Amino acid sequence: MGPLHGLRVLEFEAVGPVPWAAMMLANMGADVLRVARPTPADMGLVRDLQHETLQRGRRSVSANLKDAAARGAVLTLTQKAHVLLEGHRPGVMERLGLGPDMCLAASPSLVYGRMTGWGQQGPLAQTVGHDINYIGLTGALHAIGTAERPVVPLNLVGDFGGGAMLLALGVMAAVLEARSSGKGQVIDAAMVDGSMLLMAPVLGRVATGEWLDQRESNLLDGGAPFYGVYETGDKRHLAVGAIEAPFYAALLKGLGIALHDLPPQLERSAWPETRQRFAALFAMRSRDEWCAIFEGTDACVTPVLSLSEVPGHAHHIARESFVNVGGIRQPAPAPRFSRTVNTTGRTPAESCSGSDDALRDWGLDPVDPRLSPLGRL
């Protein structure tokens, strides 16, 4: 049993952060029931649930929320849930008659988790956007990239780090508090807020003058020659993170450079010259040859693996970091618990079946006339 066994989560279909947070809760043992649209929204992404890894671990029903009877059935489901997750634009759930006031009136201990890009209020609350827009407003996009221009860091920072993680943490904090108070509450999780929190260490250093507001000029943004990415002789890459003095010494030893042959490690003005010297040396051997040289040392040098290489790395194999769910290889649940069990649970395909059983488990009769508008995926 996972640590969240017994927790019931009602998830309204959304893209990105909401299903990621729901997947995390399901992996930890929560019983997650997903309310899907009769016709899923099309973003040009994967629509085949068998290949949508974020849908693993829960069962699904489909409901046309524009239908009053269907909304009534879904409201009944909210009364059986401990947590509700939704990712609509502010005001949409209220117009559907499923907003926080309505749901908390029916179930006072419900934790109502709301995920948006800009938050429930503010000048941008009703503005559309995506990860790149949210991190653009927090300084994160500005700080990542080359000296010449910002680089898009996938959609990991805003959608999942700043969004889904914030939602999951906030929801679980509210669940814990509700167990003592008996009262639920609304969680306003915004991707722009979470992205800003991720930037707290950098923004704090900017405020004190420790961080230059220019890319590739600082310790951790690629400016330091001992913390960056280098191309190897076979056109692949290495990640170097030798910050501390002993690690830096191990890096120089592997490169065949004497410490006294270089300016002091933290002499910022010398960083460009040192970087050029490192780059020339790394270009003389293949990535795997350098990995062999640095293996077992404290130089903090690792290969930059391609997506197809990742599952085959010895460390991931030893830790069983990948699982096969429905024929699709994907990351295993994390974090790992010493006593309770983390599991992927149902496959995405299985989540589309067993809807009647799911409703029975939630204390509802699948043939109840009130539930007739609920289709089955």
What residue ranges do the domains of the chain occupy? 8-198+322-371, 227-312
- The whole-number pLDDT of residue 294 equals 98
Interatomic CA distance for residues 242 and 226, integer angstroms: 5
- The whole-number pLDDT of residue 46 equals 45
Active site residue 82: no
SS3 state at 44:
coil
Which one of the listed residues 31, 131, 159, 193 is annotated catalytic?
A: 159
SS3 state at 231:
strand
- The whole-number pLDDT of residue 348 equals 58
pTM for the predicted model, two decimal places = 0.91
| β-bridge mates for residue 238, sequence order | 230, 303
Measured between alpha carbons, how far apart are the two ends of the chain, in Å? 27
Domain 227-312 architecture: 2-Layer Sandwich (3.30)
SS3 state at 96:
coil
Query: On the CB side of 180, how many CA atoms lie within 13 Å of its CA?
Result: 4
Interatomic CA distance for residues 373 and 327, integer angstroms: 33
Neighbours of 261 (CB within 10 A): 9
Active site residue 221: no
The two domains 8-198+322-371 and 227-312 share their CATH topology (first three levels equal): no
- CA 74, 177, 90 angle in degrees (round to 5)? 45
Q: Which residues touch 251 (CB under 8 Å, ≥6 apart)? A: 226, 240, 242, 294, 299, 300, 301
Q: Which portions of the chain are predicted below pLDDT 70? A: 40-51, 346-354, 366-377
Which one of the listed residues 51, 130, 313, 316 is annotated catalytic?
A: 130
Fold annotation for 8-198+322-371 = Rossmann fold (3.40.50)
Neighbours of 281 (CB within 10 A): 15
- The whole-number pLDDT of residue 322 equals 94
- The whole-number pLDDT of residue 361 equals 86
